[in-house]
Amino acid sequence: MKPAVFSYLRPTNLQEALMFLEEYGEDAKILSGGQSLIPTMNMRLSAPAYLIDISRISDLNYIKLDGDFLAVGALTKHKDIENSDLVKEACPLLSEAIRWVGHAQIRNRGTVGGSIAHGDPSAELPCVLTALRGEIVIANVDGSEEVLVPEEFFLTYMLTSLQPDQMVKEVRFPIIPKESGSAFLELARRHGDFGLAEVAAVVDIDDEGHLLNVKIAVGGVNPTPTALEQVEEYLIGKKLTDEVLRQVSDLTQESVDPESDLHGTAEYRRELAGTLTVRALKIAVERARGGNNNVQ
């Protein structure tokens, strides 16, 4: 399990990185944290001729408020999100979800941009970004930028709209208002594994517990993380009664089309998506009711 030969390039700024990408395009891969890429290289499932190590581009490592968004630089590490008070304040859903990413050693190296660009439908960050209707800022070699929403960016299993000469520059998570409640739930075979299914939810409720606003997405059960628009629409103005939750579960299950694998049948994962959606909603509503969107 040793990687094949490659040439190593280490740009010091974004422009240089993009120039390398333009030059080597399809033969090159971007190396940031390497936590997804290097295993595949060790197994020789991938053997890029060039690796462009972007980890030294220092101005892409930041977490800051930018209008209605929490803007996170592509090279920000998972552990930085985990430890950030700003993230806890502005986007507690992200704080909660980040702890489900692998194990500490992985979070110490893995980057936000890497996780998004990898396009794994069962990864946590894409699911959160999809639920929140966040944005992905892409840098082009000519210096221009594009801003895509998750729906446009995630195309299918492990495939994004990112072109060989483009790079994820920033990921923008909408700020979650204080009065909202949010929850991230995931079930995996073991702690730290990719989820069999995962759900990210944010809700606003009125004093009687009617839902005013719902954003919810599931991961791991479709080729891309999926916003449950039908569920969201259905829930507006409703309280979470047993009947409503049953309906939520059914609607969720209609919105997903998981595949069978070693860890669960399609039927199981479909049902699990429904169950987790119901549970996540209950927690989110509970947190909104408490007026204290506290994520432990």
Of the two residues 92 and 264, which places its CB atom closer to other proteins in the complex? 264
Q: Angle CA(220)–CA(224)–CA(230) in degrees, nearest 5?
A: 90
Can residue 53 be called a binding residue for other proteins (CB under 8 A)? yes
CA-nearest of 281, 202, 283, 212 to 248 is 281
Which tokens sit at 21? 């990408």
The stretch among 41-49, 137-145, 226-234, 285-293 that binds other proteins (CB under 8 A) is 41-49
Of the two residues 4 and 158, which places its CB atom closer to other proteins in the complex? 4
Task: Give dist(CA 32, CA 36) in Å, integer.
Answer: 10
CB of 189 to other proteins, least distance (A): 6
Which tokens sit at 79? 């552990």
Instruction: Candidates 12, 25, 26, 39: give the one binding other proteins (CB under 8 A).
Output: 39
Which string of x and - marks every residue 194-213 that binds other proteins (by CB under 8 A)? x-x-----------------
Task: Give dist(CA 242, CA 282) in Å, integer.
Answer: 11
Taking 3-state DSSP, the helix, strand and coil percentages for the chain, each rounded to the nearest 5, stand at 40, 25, 40
Task: Give dist(CA 99, CA 88) in Å, integer.
Answer: 12
Asked if 220 contacts 122 with a C-beta cutoff of 8 angstroms, the reply is yes
Of the two residues 51 and 132, which places its CB atom closer to other proteins in the complex? 51
# chain residues binding other proteins, by CB under 8 A: 46
Can residue 244 be called a binding residue for other proteins (CB under 8 A)? no
The stretch among 27-35, 129-137, 143-151, 205-213 that binds other proteins (CB under 8 A) is 27-35
Which tokens sit at 208? 């009687």
CA dihedral sign, ordered 237, 242, 244, 249: positive
Can residue 34 be called a binding residue for other proteins (CB under 8 A)? yes
The stretch among 34-42, 87-95, 116-124, 199-207 that binds other proteins (CB under 8 A) is 34-42
Can residue 193 be called a binding residue for other proteins (CB under 8 A)? yes
Can residue 144 be called a binding residue for other proteins (CB under 8 A)? no
Of the two residues 25 and 192, which places its CB atom closer to other proteins in the complex? 192
Instruction: Candidates 138, 272, 281, 284: give the one binding other proteins (CB under 8 A).
Output: 272
Instruction: Candidates 14, 19, 38, 295: give the one binding other proteins (CB under 8 A).
Output: 38
Sheet architecture: strand order including 50-53:
7-9, 50-53, 28-31
CB of 293 to other proteins, least distance (A): 23
Q: Which residues within the stretch 66-125 sit at the binding site for other proteins (CB under 8 A)?
A: 79, 102-106, 108-109
Bridge partners, residue 154, by sequence: 160
E strand intervals along the chain: 7-9, 28-31, 50-53, 63-66, 69-73, 135-139, 145-148, 154-156, 159-160, 167-174, 181-187, 197-205, 211-219, 226-227
The stretch among 40-48, 198-206, 229-237, 283-291 that binds other proteins (CB under 8 A) is 40-48
Asked if 184 contacts 93 with a C-beta cutoff of 8 angstroms, the reply is yes
- Residue ranges in contact with other proteins by CB under 8 A: 1-8, 10, 31, 34-35, 38-39, 42-44, 51, 53, 55, 79, 102-106, 108-109, 187, 189-194, 196, 262-265, 267-269, 271-272, 275
